[in-house]
Amino acid sequence: MSMALKQVFNKDRTFRPKRKFEPGTQRFELHKKAQASLNAGLDLKQAVQLPHGEDLNDWVAVHVVDFFNRINLIYGTISDSCTDQTCPVMSGGPKYEYRWQDEHKYKRPTALSAPKYMSLLMDWIEVQINNENIFPTNVGTPFPKTFMQVAKKILSRLFRVFVHVYIHHFDRVSQMGAEAHVNTCYKHFYYFVTEFNLTDHKELEPLKEMTSRMCH
């Protein structure tokens, strides 16, 4: 990792504080297991597979939080060049436009600038992952029946951050020497969502060509 990149990532220029796992919890142990297989240089395709005897909901919950933290950080590194002026529409090239919809202010899909969309997205995800009724942290507390549905929605929306960063800000990523880091994070994310069928194939379309070259 280049010095410039180290400074960027060390500054922790995320929008918000990271969600952390409490030491001693089952989720923390799983998080450590996931990190260990990544750090061991294990093939990413293997690293995403559900460890023997572990619960799928737990494994997905750990990865959702981890991807949120990491993608948040990636966007934070290019956010100075993603403004209402440079990116008046949240998009992935001319063919793909993403509109924001939620249960509160934006009841209908609404066109927003990329930074506004990103800010609402990160806020929305943060609310979900900090909600004990959706992401229970106590061992033995069951996940709700809707958990996978929520996880899929979070991951599909996080994928859009990759789409926007790759299509509109990749020069900035390269300039900062962050290309290898972003590519590894993307491959990890892609292998994970496809391993467990957590994202609709239509969502993956915008980066299809790049993905076929990068993830054989």
Binding residues for Zn(2+): 82, 87, 164, 169
Q: Which residues pair with 178 in a beta bridge?
A: none
Q: What CA–CA distances, in Å, run from 63 to 81, 154, 190?
A: 28, 11, 12
Query: What are the φ/ψ torsions at residue 38 (nearest 5 degrees)?
Result: -70, -45
The binding site comprises 82, 87, 164, 169
Type of residue found at 116 = K
Q: Can you tell me which residue has the tokens 């927003």?
A: 112
DSSP letters of 87-107? -SS-BSSTT-B-EE--SSS--
- Burial (Cβ within 10 Å: 0-12, 13-18, ≥19) of residue 141: exposed
Question: What dihedral angle (degrees, nearest 10) is formed by the CA atoms of 183, 127, 76, 213?
Answer: 20
Q: Can you tell me which residue has the tokens 């990491």?
A: 70
Please give, one letter per residue, the 3-state secondary structure of 22-41.
CCCCHHHHHHHHHHHHHHCC
